[in-house]
Amino acid sequence: MADSYVLCEINVQAAWPYPPQASGRLARAALERVLASKQIPA
């Protein structure tokens, strides 16, 4: 079975409805979600 990939590009400047100061909070929240999803359940 061969792997398949799709190249996708999004122009963030054209689709960023948040104020500049929100980017840090969004990045932290995204990182927390990724790290939480990788934790092994107790």
Q: How many CA atoms lie within 13 A of 9 on its CB side?
A: 1
CA–CA dist 33, 10 (Å, integer): 22
- 1-42 residue pLDDT tens: 577 777 777 666 666 667 778 878 888 999 999 888 887 766
Radius of gyration of the chain (CA): 16
Give the pTM: 0.48
